[in-house]
Amino acid sequence: MSTLKETKVQVWEYLGPISPGGTVFGVAISPVEDVPRYWVATSCGIFYTEDGGKTWTQSLNGLSTPLLSALTVAPNGALFAGSLEGDLFASFDFGESWEAGLVPQELRGTVTVLAASPNFAKDGTVFAATDGGGLLVSRDSAKNWEDSGFGLGDLSVVALATSPDWSRREIMFAATPEGVFISRNGGRAWRETDLMMEEDVVSVLAVSPGFAQDRTVFAGTETGDLYRSTDGGRTWDLLQSQLGPGSVNGLWLAPDFAESGRMVAGVGQQLYLSNDGGESWQQVSELPGSVLALAGDAQVVLVGLHDAGLWKSTDGGDTWASASDQLSARGFARIVPAGAKLYTFGPQEGLWVSEDRGQTWQSLESVSAHLPLSAASVSEKGPLFIATPEEGILRSTDDGQSWQVVARETSVQALLVLPEEGVGWAGTRDGRLFLTKDGGETWQEAKNRWEGQEVLGIAASPAYARDHTVFMCTLIPETANRPTRVALWKSSDGGENWQQLTTQATPVRWVDIAMPSDVENPAEQAVAATGPYCLRPLRRARSVWISTRVDPGEANVLGLVAFGNLDAGGLLFAATGNGVYRSNDGGRTWEPFGEGLTAPSFIGLAALQEGQEVELYALSLGGQLWRHRFTWPSKD
């Protein structure tokens, strides 16, 4: 029987972000004087800072998805966020927690931009522009959403702006691929302006802070042109042709625009400044990523970038600096040990490696030419493999310096190769399984007992050389009588023949399979995670599998690591959307194991072991890394 002998320090050690930054889709600055915050929307949830970007706090409480695409703040400090799937959320405690609104299914589309009524504190009105769902409005503080696109004629709304004062007329502007529209009754009806486009698309709108007096509105386009209206949006003039290379994705007008004429435009990766109301411009910054969002007030201007986090200016746009050295909003999906190395990868992040036990990380830059990744398989000394939806399966025999296509199967989303054994498996979205028996040089389709079921994950026994055992999980689609389920399969002949072990009802498309490497028959100790469940065989009836919820809040389990005989004192660790948990009874019961962890959600675990010394790594949603050290005797 094995026992756990932990070191004196039983808390997690913070190693830092794998790579700071990430993609920022939306930014907002607190209008409330005694709440000095600004927020960013990312694919890893909301982050906020109270010290100008020196430190960041991740906010996920109440969010049903972290994949956020838009953000805005009302004059009273209420926050609104939209997701890639069309979800809409509100926060009334400055981003500490979020509430989901009710969005009809037929109105769902990626949220492109949000705008709150200038009178939100009184009228509770907020708008959401979507790609495919049209323009939505809520008039009950984001609880319920309905269509507000009468007269727009297009379900793709790409830009939105309101006039700053609705005390007399509720004027706002929206842009579709057809051009710019105006509403004078708070979005209840729309009509065309004369800025209708045939070969260009308006990508951003901005209204003068002094609109009641100067009647000025600006529109930037995908080709880099800038238009201006000085009669409240009735007529428009081309102010600048191709202001810069790329799309105009951000426009900010200073609060004192009427006097200073100061405005900032984000075009591609460049920022331009004007001090005469847009008549002339100068480039003030070349940024490391494309501009996706731009916001400011009298003290600070913020710009959200693709893959490069948040940058800020405290002098009205003259100079810029990164504000995201500690922002960790990367789309890493897994962390995997390979001998003494650690690897992590994600669809848009590519493949990263650490050779110093998680202290520093290097991106394999050659992978960037093949993004997005759908799967990866790594090893310490053998070839590396990646799968992409464009090229299929690629192999590198020079530690990731170059890649060659070895199979043009573009629907692979689960991939595992054991170079020392010369075998490997690749599962596809449409349920096919491919095998290699020559180290990944060639691939052949295997027999199929799960037609139409997505292959979600594949794991091989640590003792594969002896037992030839492989596990696989597939997704069984919903039927009229049964909900969506995940099925766990086992092969004892290297993937030629398969037996279904169990199924679990869950709508998620994520699994992890773990086996301890320090027992004689590791395949008999296999456990799996899907949805909020840990799946395990009964001790005396291994043909019977049961499921246990790991987190009392039913957060999804996204990673598992196992040590020792799980039925006799072994250990299981689980990474969940609500922290890290530990079980010392084979997964029957779980306890929080998060002392020292400061992130709210974790997506992966990995372990490096030398003799009895173990280093357990926990990877958070966004890409922060922690390490926990303990002693684990492999045998008594």
pLDDT of residue 540 exceeding 70, the answer is no
Are the beta carbons of 135 and 86 closer than 8 angstroms?
A: no
pLDDT tens by residue, 30-65: 999 999 999 999 999 999 999 999 999 999 999 999
- pLDDT, averaged across the chain: 94
Give the bridge partners for 517, in sequence order: none
Note the pLDDT of residue 3: 44
Note the pLDDT of residue 23: 97
pLDDT of residue 8 exceeding 60, the answer is no
Note the pLDDT of residue 9: 45
Q: Identify residue 174 by its one-letter amino acid code.
A: A
- In this structure, of 70-74, 390-394, 534-538, the range with the lowest mean pLDDT score is 534-538
Q: Identify residue 180 by its one-letter amino acid code.
A: V
CB atoms within 10 A of CB 184: 16
What does the block give as tokens for 187? 């979005």
pLDDT tens by residue, 442-469: 999 998 889 889 999 999 999 999 999 9
- Distance of alpha carbon 461 from the chain centroid: 30
Give 24's pLDDT tier (boundaries 50, 70, 90).
very high
pLDDT of residue 258 exceeding 90, the answer is yes
Cis peptide before 372 (omega within 30 of 0): yes
The pTM score is 0.93
Note the pLDDT of residue 287: 97
The phi and psi torsions of 368 (rounded to 5 degrees) equal: -60, -30
The phi and psi torsions of 439 (rounded to 5 degrees) equal: 75, 20
How much is the average pLDDT of 589-614?
94
How crowded is the C-beta side of 521, counted as CA atoms within 13 Å?
4
Note the pLDDT of residue 501: 95
pLDDT tens by residue, 383-437: 999 999 999 999 999 999 999 999 999 999 999 999 999 999 999 999 999 999 9
Are the beta carbons of 572 and 534 closer than 8 angstroms?
A: yes
How crowded is the C-beta side of 551, counted as CA atoms within 13 Å?
25
Give 518's pLDDT tier (boundaries 50, 70, 90).
confident
Give 6's pLDDT tier (boundaries 50, 70, 90).
very low
What does the block give as tokens for 138? 């809520």
DSSP code of residue 497: S
pLDDT tens by residue, 212-249: 999 999 999 999 999 999 999 999 999 999 999 999 99
- Taken in order of first residue, the domains within the chain and their CATH numbers are 5-15+330-631 (2.130.10.10), 98-327 (2.130.10.10)
* Location of structure tokens 């669809």: 347
Burial 314-351 (b: 16+ CB within 10 A, else e): eebbeebebbbebbbbbbbbbbebbeebbbbbbbbbbb
Q: Which of 350, 403, 397 is nearest to 375 (CA)?
A: 350
Burial 407-435 (b: 16+ CB within 10 A, else e): bebebbbbbbbbbeeebbbbbbbebbbbb
The phi and psi torsions of 369 (rounded to 5 degrees) equal: -75, -10
Q: Give the integer Cα–Cα distance in Å for 17 and 328.
A: 6
Are the beta carbons of 410 and 402 closer than 8 angstroms?
A: no
pLDDT of residue 153 exceeding 50, the answer is yes
Note the pLDDT of residue 567: 82
* Location of structure tokens 């979507």: 130
Note the pLDDT of residue 566: 87
pLDDT tens by residue, 120-141: 999 999 999 999 999 999 999 9
Give 4's pLDDT tier (boundaries 50, 70, 90).
very low
Q: Give the integer Cα–Cα distance in Å for 313 and 321.
A: 7
* Location of structure tokens 């009964």: 538
Q: Which of 252, 197, 261, 191 is nearest to 225 (CA)?
A: 197
Helix (H, G, I), strand (E, B) or coil at 439: coil
pLDDT of residue 541 exceeding 80, the answer is no
The phi and psi torsions of 107 (rounded to 5 degrees) equal: -105, 5
pLDDT tens by residue, 154-177: 999 999 999 999 998 999 999 999
Q: Give the integer Cα–Cα distance in Å for 58 and 328.
A: 9
Helix (H, G, I), strand (E, B) or coil at 547: strand
Q: Give the integer Cα–Cα distance in Å for 385 and 405.
A: 10
Note the pLDDT of residue 7: 42
Give the bridge partners for 630, in sequence order: 6, 614
For residue 492, give every residue at least 6 positions away whose Cβ sits within 8 Å of its Cβ, in sequence order, or none: 467, 468, 469
Q: Give the integer Cα–Cα distance in Å for 630 and 610.
A: 11
Give the bridge partners for 263, in sequence order: 253, 274
How crowded is the C-beta side of 438, counted as CA atoms within 13 Å?
6
pLDDT tens by residue, 77-117: 999 999 999 999 999 999 999 999 999 999 999 999 999 99
Burial of residue 185 (CB within 10 Å: 0-12, 13-18, 19+) is: exposed
* Residues present in the chain in total: 636
How much is the average pLDDT of 581-597?
94
For residue 481, give every residue at least 6 positions away whose Cβ sits within 8 Å of its Cβ, in sequence order, or none: none
Is the torsion defined by CA of 621, 622, 623, 629 positive or negative?
negative
Give 635's pLDDT tier (boundaries 50, 70, 90).
very low
What does the block give as tokens for 512? 């992890």
CB atoms within 10 A of CB 282: 10
pLDDT tens by residue, 332-375: 999 999 999 999 999 999 999 999 999 999 999 999 999 999 99
pLDDT of residue 2 exceeding 50, the answer is no
How much is the average pLDDT of 7-27?
86
